[in-house]
A and B are shown apart, each in its own frame.
Chain A
């Protein structure tokens, strides 16, 4: 692998914390956004002249708007519990990648400008003036945080470094120092409707290809409908599902499930994107603008239910924030006109929004899906909990459903399922290394280094328990793993979509697979009748 950095070595005892290597990744900074990218989002095009004053002013503004920020900046006692928990610290040994040290980059300036001790005794409490060097340091290290929240699990006050880095990025944007990757993409989603900038007709052509492929495969006319007025279900999925591997196979998996369930569903070309990078840059107003495309699509198409495909941060935004920023959910107050407008139209017997895994799991429990796990006998599968799903959302009606439901799907769909080291999954799962707006080639070094803990855990089950594949439910995780696995001598096709594995095991009524399984012409006729009956 040609790279101008060293892939980190697997550690003999991953539990032993690193020795510090100061400034190991101080040289890493993502490309800076062009004026055009920034301005589209309402930010100044370039670093403004009075950036110092504007930055401090913005910090004050955010402190008054976000209680979390205010409490987190005050409450840290420097106990050290979080210091060894970040995958970027583990992969780089750079002390500024310790969560509390990352927070301190911002906290030092907070103390200088907003606290008594920092104003009068700056040296004593580690307060610093915001100079150009500090600003650049923010730009560098707040883009070495994937906002995965692993640190917040272990903090006695739940201090969430993700919140701090979102605030820092919002301050940077406000002074015209935005990141190219996030801001460029956000511009596209706001003008075209998806991160790729894929226009409607292109989308339809792509879907037609996939439909053909599925028909060749199963002998059934499985659809990927777009813009169907009056459909029951609107599916919002990350646009990576339309073009990237292994994402596409996941998309086809959803389509098969919908087909088998006989549901009238649709995609929207206006809102063909579940991703909402506004969260990464901490921008409430942009998050609202992007989410409102979904609201508009739902209103226009007149759908009753809204579902979300496999994507980690998108599920966080959908589950935790859609109701707040766009009224996509339930329980708006009587006098909340904005919330009521959409919610009156929706069917509240179902969770809104609903994760595709919740949907498939529900069908499975009702006995509406027939799975043949033997179809996956050539695989031994493990599951990567994506950080935003694990620590910032839920599935089902019980806490922890976000861990159990995808696993239940995989276990129903394959005979060989193994979990990785318990210290690396579920609530304490490690980030893939590419989340939080870091999934860009200009940050390849930090992406590879940050993947270390996950790669170690995966390699372990591959070597000792014969694991062949890792399933995920996040577009970023899938893209990141496909890219970084080769650095660790793991084949890139080890990573799969969860709904691909489900789709492979799904025995569709009337399909060639069903015929092969059940044999005989009689049964296939019967199932054809059954298929007609469900339509």
Chain B
């Protein structure tokens, strides 16, 4: 019963996540940036832009310039999240590739880094007046959701273990459209339900910052307006009148 419900939930969540994200990315890609607005000093070549973007995405360069505490907690959370996600690939693959096996132990510590980062970010929303002012209920809920996902995960790892072989069978079953039984430990059910919720709200929330950063004209444009005439299609129409 639980298996059936969760299978349906994950099919829906995945479809919504992929479809929603694809729609948003399509929209970002299709909307023109009619003017050259990189925040300067900006790279003057395309490869320079790739390097700038890589520094933003991997090191959060601008955030580092802006605020060391947010950077520290934010970066711990994201790196932790990335490692944890990679670690989870073992549930989706059989056999498990060497790299994924290799990062398993790091992924464990990453879970804690992620939790500490999240709690630090959350704390700022309560204790720093400026950030309290700009926080909406949804900003708190988002952190609560991630803390709950991370917390339930860590509790399964270090407390009430679940049958991960069965979980893997269930997941592989989902991928091959053959329903397998799902263990019914409450922690696991909570963990999985919350992950599905996260996937569903991803394309309709501020989590769009993840694809968004790549489309930000202040960061992804080459600084060459004098050398090349840059005209958006709707703007080119105005040349004709």
Contacts and interface: CB of A to CB of B under 8 A. Distances in A.
Interface in A132-160: 149, 152-160
Interface string A94-130: 0100101100100000000001110001011110000
Contacts of A68: 33, 37, 216-218
Interface string A356-375: 00000000000000000000
A391 B42 CA distance: 9
Contacts of B176: none
A163 B39 CA distance: 12
Interface in A382-418: 390-394, 397-400, 402-403
A400 B223 CA distance: 11
B129 A20 contact: yes
Nearest to B226: A329
Nearest to B39: A152
B28 A67 contact: yes
A75 B39 contact: no
A17 interface: yes
B66 A324 contact: no
Contact of B234 (A65, A155, A158): A65
B209 A75 contact: yes
A81 interface: yes
B137 to A, nearest CB: 5
Given A68-B218, A288-B238, A323-B226, A399 B212 contact: no
Interface residues of A, number: 82
A1 interface: no
Most central of B24, B70, B130, B205 by chain A CB within 10 Å: B130
A301 interface: no
Nearest to A392: B40
A324 B37 contact: no
A153 B56 CA distance: 12
A75 B216 contact: yes
Chain B binding surface, main DSSP class = helix
Contact of B70 (A20, A79, A428): A79
Contact of A77 (B32, B39, B206): B206
A154 B56 CA distance: 11
Interface in B115-132: 121, 124, 128-131
Most central of B33, B227, B229, B238 by chain A CB within 10 Å: B229
A392 B238 contact: no
A117 B202 CA distance: 11
Nearest to A340: B229
B29 to A, nearest CB: 8
Interface of B: 24, 27-28, 31-37, 39-44, 56, 60, 62-63, 65-67, 70, 74, 121, 124, 128-131, 133-139, 141, 201, 204-206, 208-209, 212-213, 215-219, 223, 225-232, 234-235, 238-240
Give 10 closest A-B pairs by Cβ, nearest first: A154-B66, A75-B212, A81-B66, A158-B218, A399-B41, A126-B136, A331-B228, A338-B239, A67-B31, A80-B131
